[in-house]
Amino acid sequence: MRHVKIPSGEITNGPLILAAARSGRPIFLSTGMSTLGEIEDALGVIAFGLAANGESPSIGAFRRAINSAEGIRAVQNNVVVLHCVTEYPAPLIDVNLKAMAVIGRRFSVEIGYSDHTLGTNVALAAVALGARVLEKHFTLDKMQPGPDHRASLEPVELKAMVKGVREIEIALGKPEKGPTRSELKNRSVARKSLVAAGNITAGELYSNDNLGAKRPGNGLSPMQIWDVIGKTAPRNYAEDEPIE
């Protein structure tokens, strides 16, 4: 289903936002120039439009809607809130991409970013920070008159940005940590094993002086050195020979 985009300049236009909510279409809500309170008010109108219980529209009804379980679910299922800086081009000092996380935590909604900066770096950074929707202006010629063209992307740039977004999406992966399939073959090569730092005679006590750590890592882990120190070598070891 096609989305309705509420631009930043309309975030206080309650009647328009209510009509968009009542259209039944999912909504992108852009938040340039907005405070958190204004975003909450707009989401309240949307919640009311999506989950109205027969009340007449009013500020109080909107606030009750956004604080109700039904209204919150409706907003979460139908709205993506876009962080935005309404300036063309937007200065980097004003971008504040960390605001996306603030919006996401405050309203428990999916977040996105409407980008008016020059180039694509900031847009790609927004994706890496969790933006699920990315808006970027598009033009055939940046030299055309008007406020938007300079901060817009020409066809080759847009194609490059989309490619970058897709690569970032792959690289973001999953919220888990462990050795990857490509890494496993490198573990024994990159890690170290506990070895004799010099010749060790059978019966000699292991110590910091006669133990060391060298590659490859297919023997006893150096993490176990403290369990080995003070014990007796069961046999002779030549220098660099792995400790068993």
pLDDT tens string 180-222: 999 999 999 999 999 999 999 999 999 999 999 999 999 999 9
Question: Amino acid letter at 123?
Answer: A
The residues near 90 (Cβ < 8 Å, ≥ 6 apart) are 115, 116, 117, 151
pLDDT at residue 36 greater than cutoff 90: yes
Residue 150 is predicted with a pLDDT of 86
Residue 10: half-sphere exposure toward Cβ, Cα within 13 Å: 16
Q: What is the mean pLDDT of residues 228-233?
A: 97
Confidence of residue 49 (pLDDT cuts 50, 70, 90): very high
Residue 46 is predicted with a pLDDT of 98
> Any idea which of 84-93, 145-154, 188-197 has the lowest mean pLDDT?
145-154
Q: pLDDT tens, 96-146?
A: 999 999 999 999 999 999 999 999 999 999 999 999 999 999 999 999 998
Asked if 130 and 100 count as a contact pair (C-beta separation under 8 A), the reply is: yes
Question: Amino acid letter at 44?
Answer: G
pLDDT at residue 53 greater than cutoff 80: no
pLDDT, the chain, mean: 96
Q: What does residue 55 show for φ and ψ, rounded to 5 degrees?
A: -70, 155
What token pair was written down for 61? 């009804």
**pTM score over 0.75:** yes
Give the span between the Cα atoms of 149 and 161, in whole angstroms: 17
pLDDT at residue 1 greater than cutoff 80: no
pLDDT at residue 159 greater than cutoff 80: yes
3-state secondary structure 69-118: HHHHHHHHHHEEEEEECCCCCCCHHHHCCCHHHHHHHHHCCEEEEEECCC
Q: pLDDT tens, 57-84?
A: 999 999 999 999 999 999 999 999 999 9
